[in-house]
Amino acid sequence: MAPTTLTHFIGGEKIAGTSNRFADVFEPMTGDVTARVPLANAAEVRHAVEVANAAQPRWADTNPQRRARVFMRFVELLNRHADEIAHLMSREHGKTIPDSHGDLQRGLEVAEFCIGIPHLLKGEFTEGAGPGIDIYSMRQPLGVVAGITPFNFPAMIPLWKAAPAIACGNAFILKPSERDPSVPLMLAELFLEAGLPKGIFNVVNGDKEAVDAILDDPGIAAVGFVGSSDIAQYVYARGAANGKRVQAFGGAKNHMIVMPDADMDMAADALIGAAFGSAGERCMAISVAVPVGEGAAEALRGKLVPKIESLKVGPSTSPDADFGPLVTRAHLERVRNYVDIGVGEGAELVVDGRGFKMQGYENGFYMGGCLFDRVRTDMRIYKEEIFGPVLSILRAADYAEALALANSHEYANGVAIYTRDGDAARDFAAKVEVGMVGINVPIPVPLAYYTFGGWRRSGFGDLNQHGADGIRFYTRTKTVTSRWPTGVKEGAQFAMPTMK
């Protein structure tokens, strides 16, 4: 079957690309090219901005309760089409069907949160702040805003960006990953079916040329990004230099501290799911296990090895698969190369999944789980984000050393501790310098009404994703000080006004 040629989605219409540049979209489980996606140029981005700018004022004037009703219908449509979206996602990304449902659900929950936008946009009011003076604040939309999102969550992260932005009264331009663009395009159609006006949610596919056009376009007021740290830093610097508000989230090297008193079976199960779910292609994946003490290290390793060796790697559509293929052959080779590097650096490769082949799917992008032990902090496999099914054990002599490991790494996205000791857990939560913390929770992704964001090189900008920060990021505060004439004539006042 010939590959499908995809489109952009601008102004409520499917728009063919005009740049004459395309990228292949693969089905990771077979290795087949299933689609060609157009790569936008700066002129196409500019057209999307113009369309969004024309549509935005009327949407901003739509009262928040009516905007909320659009989100109510949108959530209903997401639930109705969940199976279709999950299968489409698995086909282009490679994650299993249950994992795709989880991806969608976490995005849907942010859309549900946005149903409360009438309350979330309420400002403050002080009556009688001075003689006959009232002060109040209001939150107003920015105008046209944009999101640049990664391949690993084709529904969740676009919805984390778009839903709060649109609920606040902005028009939104999404530049999704060119590796799996079909789910974002479907989200655009469902928004339209839910009653969102044309031009408020637009999808422009592309690569670096489209990204740079978004960062440079004076008609875009804010940009949200998720991807690698080097690109996040680039997006933050270039966007901010052009006067935009920017939130840019980067890479991770998430540690799980396993204390000697932890339930080792529970900790091992948590590590297996957190390290190898979605083939490790998650910014919240646990990639470093830090057992405290040699006894804990040996016990944990003994639990992990048979579990990793028995992992079921399979096609994305297999109901028995623990995880599926990686997203592209290039990414598969990148992850394999990191395993080669770890061996060369002297780490002990306890379980080697590099040679895994899927019978009947020999051209797919599959790799088995890998486990390194006796990893050191000077190794690249510890310092750099691998983004694949590779778990490292780095042994700590005591709790203080384990805490210092998490606090000294350049990435500070997520961290977890497994322990039965409430005092240790409380101390860890207070002292660890990482944005998201799990206590006996392996993937501490906050729910939609809290905010998501890492520290250090895992996050650039001062406001996080979703929750209250999402509303703050996509609005600006206006404060009004008002007084109505009372018949009292005060004359001109030249000193700084005060309430003294």
* Cα distance between residue 275 and residue 286, in whole Å: 5
238: buried, middle or exposed (CB in 10 Å: 19+, 13-18, 0-12)? Answer: middle
- Please answer whether residues 30 and 325 qualify as being in contact, where contact means their C-beta atoms are separated by less than 8 angstroms: no
Query: Closest Cα partner for 100 from 154, 163, 172?
Result: 154
* Cα distance between residue 37 and residue 176, in whole Å: 11
* Cα distance between residue 166 and residue 70, in whole Å: 10
DSSP state of 281: -
* Cα distance between residue 175 and residue 149, in whole Å: 7
Q: In what order do the strands lie in the sheet with 125-130?
A: 125-130, 133-141, 475-483
Catalytically active residues, by annotation: 283
DSSP state letters, 364-402: S-----EEEES--TTSHHHHS---SSEEEE--BSSHHHH
3-state secondary structure of 20: coil
* Measured torsion, CA atoms of residues 391, 286, 98, 106, in degrees rounded to the nearest 10: -160
Pairing outcome for strands 133-141 and 475-483: antiparallel
Query: Closest Cα partner for 38 from 67, 9, 16?
Result: 16
Structure tokens at 149: 């999102």
* Cα distance between residue 418 and residue 259, in whole Å: 6
Structure tokens at 290: 């830090």
* Cα distance between residue 224 and residue 218, in whole Å: 15
Q: Which helix (H) or strand (E) holds 86?
A: helix 82-93
